[in-house]
Amino acid sequence: MTQEQPEQKPPFSEPVWTYRGYELKSSEFTTAMVHFFRAEVTRANVWRQRLDTTTNWAVVTTGAVISFAFAQTDFGHIVILLDLLLVTMFLVIEARRYRYYELWSYRVRMMETDFFASMLVPPFQPSPDWAESLAESLLHPQFQISEWEALGRRLRRNYLWIYLTVGLAWFASLALFPSPATTWPAFAARASIGPLNGQWLILVVVVLLIGVIAMAIFTVGLRHSSGEVLPRYGLPEGFFDTGDDEKEHSKETPWFRMTRRRKQILTFIITDKPRTVSNSILEKMRRGATEVSGKGAFTRQEHAVLMCALTVTEIPQLKALVSEVDDDAFVVVVPARGVFGKGFMPLDKEKSQEKL
């Protein structure tokens, strides 16, 4: 007689989402997120194509108008002025489309950085606030960038050159047709349109072009758009450049071998719970921390400062660990020219080259 083995039940899987008796498991949740990600990418691509369409309208219209203006010398400059108005209208339309494009691309970038990227590096789980941010964007959608930033970005990318081309074509049409103008009164008289004084029209066009250039310059500092593939954690461009040593080291590798290393950084953690924070970093991140003491400049209160070398993909995990242990702690991230030792590049130069 063989004793029957008791039936083994599958391990309990907590449902992620329930609705009227339906339960959504973790695997089904991931599948739903993948389909949602594909839908948002498709939306972003559709609005990106609409941006290209508006730019094509402006380019084709400008080319056709300039060709017609230089062929019809009697009223060619009037047609160019009309094209200037059309280009402005296309710019406003494209800026509006760009804001919609940023809405969808913001969600795409949020899922890339906080959902998919977290699957590749420890602790292999999404950041604590990504679901709330994504749900807020779905329930209360708002444009991620202002009208000024959208106008400035489209100007710098495309329309600034179109405006300059139209302006040069207008002044060239006044100066060359029907014959070259040798004096300022003759040049200004050609710009007249009916009762409108030519000098005032020239002043309006010059002010418009200067205003366009000023808008393109003064909106450079507005960097809230995610469609420009900017870092999500607010680190400036070139923050992790390591200097000439890395450039010289990269020259030693063959041209056909692409080397990509995670940028190395040094973090300073100012906390009153150094033992708990360092143990958490050691257990969950397998990174060591060095403790030094310091005093506040005004309060003269002593605080512990932990120095920890990390890579760029470990910043979110470190922030989450520190916030769990000490909400009052400060985390300072600075670039490191190079980190050598266990867990990073070997101290021995020959071993370092073998890894590459």
pLDDT tens string for the chain (356 positions)?
445 555 554 554 556 666 666 777 778 888 888 999 999 999 999 999 999 999 999 999 999 999 988 887 677 788 999 999 999 999 999 999 999 998 888 888 888 888 888 777 766 777 667 787 888 888 888 888 889 989 999 999 899 999 999 999 999 988 888 888 888 888 888 888 888 888 999 999 999 999 999 998 988 877 666 555 555 444 444 544 544 444 444 444 443 334 445 577 888 888 888 899 988 888 888 888 888 877 766 666 777 889 888 877 788 778 888 888 888 888 888 877 666 766 666 666 545 444 44
pTM: 0.64
The pLDDT, as a whole number, for residue 247 is 46
Q: Topology of 244-355 in CATH?
A: Alpha-Beta Plaits (3.30.70)
The pLDDT, as a whole number, for residue 166 is 93
The pLDDT, as a whole number, for residue 14 is 58
The pLDDT, as a whole number, for residue 35 is 93
**CB neighbourhood size of 291 (10 A):** 14
The pLDDT, as a whole number, for residue 344 is 62
